[in-house]
Structure 1
Amino acid sequence: MNIKQYLDSTYLKTAHQAGLSESENLLVNQRYIQEAIDEDFKLIMIRPNVVAVARQMVDAANSKVCVGTVIDFPLGQSALDDKLKEAEQAIEDGADDLDFVCNYEAFKRGEVDLVRQEVLACTKLGLQNHKMVKWIIEVAALNHQQIIQLSTLIKKVVLDHFKEDQYNSVFVKSSTGFYLTENNLPNGATLETIIPMLENASPLPVKAAGGVRTFDEAAAMIRLGVKRIGTSGAKAIADGQVADTSY
């Protein structure tokens, strides 16, 4: 198993969240991008404002590392037009993967049509531009039944509106890594949340984001059927060490 080709190396902190200046935080982003190139990870996942920088660095290195970014992050509650505009800019800047935060709060309120419309429109934009699309459902904000229902909704939209050879380009993804839980409960991927995702998103692939900190944990997720793993500790995992980062 070449675990590096499952790893989406991730840095999504703003300068404020990292306690850094904008220029200092850009240097951190650049270090993550360079590490992804050097280690030949599947992807580098960064915020939209860093996509152009990542694209330039990856292309200059003649690297196959994909450039990914998050859309409507981390809450997913923006209007559809705003989601689409942000995704269009990321595409223009050179992103390969678009990880949209699903409006899971609207879903929990029963606004299923709103969620269905955003999944359809944003997925269509991504696929028309030959991009990988991932839908973050924020499992820590959902109960078991809601994980099943939202995974199923995304699957049904894709199966109803897109061709079979496009299914592998639309993921259901567990977490932003930024959701604040009570009592220090996990806010990322766990076996309890990933298994119902795998069972109900199929044939769409699943990405486990957050909570995977060791090579063995990553390998266990992959054996279950997970196709991508999002982590800010990609090198530690690949080297058989314990990632000490929260995402």
Structure 2
Amino acid sequence: MDDIRQYLDSTYLKTAAQANLTDEANREVVRSVINEAITEGFKLVMVRPDMVNMACQMITAAQSSVDVGTVIDFPDGDGGLDAKLAEAEEAIKNGADDLDFVADYKAFIDGDLIAVEAEILQCTRLGLRYGRVVKWIIEVAALTPEQIKGICALIKGVVTANADVTDYNSVFIKSSTGFYKTADGLPNGATPETIKIMMECAPPLAVKAAGGVRNYQEAIAMINMGVKRIGTSSAKAIADGGPAVSEGY
């Protein structure tokens, strides 16, 4: 297979409060994650929107080819279409290559398909217009298997009906934020079972496995299932063939 580093979106999305750090200390953690991505040659570094500009500057200064991704309407996805578009436009202006939108999975669960379809259409159209990669986070831990099938079908239907076939490989369906709170210690991210459903329902759109991929063997298993990207906070450990060194983003 290709270098596993080209599948890895090295991810750090904790706020200072979530990490129990000062703002500057948390910013230093982000800098270290960006520098590691540059040194290791990962496909992408995924950071919060307010860190995108710094990441782009560091990568440009290093003459690196690492892409920069960010999350939009994170982590709940219920901020509304206008907020999603405004945040995405700002991220594009700051240089983000990939836009990982949290789909309004709560609206989907509630049956408000018109609202979900509208955000998929408008936000995907915005990202593709600027040549960005668009990923839709569906939060599999919040959904039943049938709901995973349904939201994948909805996203695929909107994209394939409105985008050119040459754009399909720039739109992903992504499993998880990594921040969803589950009961009884159940997985809150990608599992073989949920990825299997996504791989059956998402193509021709690509799939990104995120949350819960914690070692090299799990990453290879996901790649063998057909995923094109893996979001992980332990990219170096995975690339080196070892276990994850941390959990959560």
**TM-score normalised by the chain length of structure 2:** 0.98
Task: Report the identity percentage.
Answer: 60
Equivalent in the alignment of 2:147: 146
The amino acid across from 1:49 in the alignment is D
Aligned-partner Cα distance in 1 for 2:97–2:61? 16
Query: SS at 2:184's partner residue?
Result: helix
SS in 1 for 2:218: helix
How far has the Cα of 1:245 moved from its partner? 2.0
The question of whether the paired residues in 2 share the 8 Å contact of 1:177 and 1:246 is answered with no
1:91 CA drift (Å): 0.3
Q: 1:168 maps to what in 2? A: 169
Q: Which residue of 2 aligns with 1:112?
A: 113
Question: What corresponds to 1:93 in structure 2?
Answer: 94
What amino acid is the match of 2:125? K
Q: What is the aligned partner in structure 1 of residue 33 from structure 2? A: 32
- Structure 1 position 133 matched with structure 2 position 134: yes
Question: How much is the aligned-residue C-alpha RMSD, in angstroms?
Answer: 0.5
State the distance in 2 between where 1:163 and 1:9 align: 29
1:121 correspondence with 2:127: no
Tell me the alpha carbon deviations over residues 1-34 of structure 1, each in whole angstroms, 9 at most, x when there is no partner: 3100000000000000000000000000000000
Partner of 2:21: 20
- What is the TM-score of this pair, normalised by structure 1? 0.99
Supply the distance in 2 between the matched residues of 1:21 and 1:216 (Cα, whole angstroms).
35
Deviations 1:78-123 (A, max 9, x none): 1101100000000000000000000000000000010000000000
Pairs aligned (count): 247
DSSP 3-state at the match of 1:84: helix
1:71–1:98 CA contact under 8 A, matched in 2: yes
| Whole-angstrom distance in 2 between the partners of 1:201 and 1:241 | 30
Structure 2 counterpart of 1:234: 235
| SS at structure 2 position matched to 1:185 | coil
- Structure 1 match to 2:65: 64
Matched residue, 2:183: 182
Which residue type is aligned with residue 30 of structure 1? R
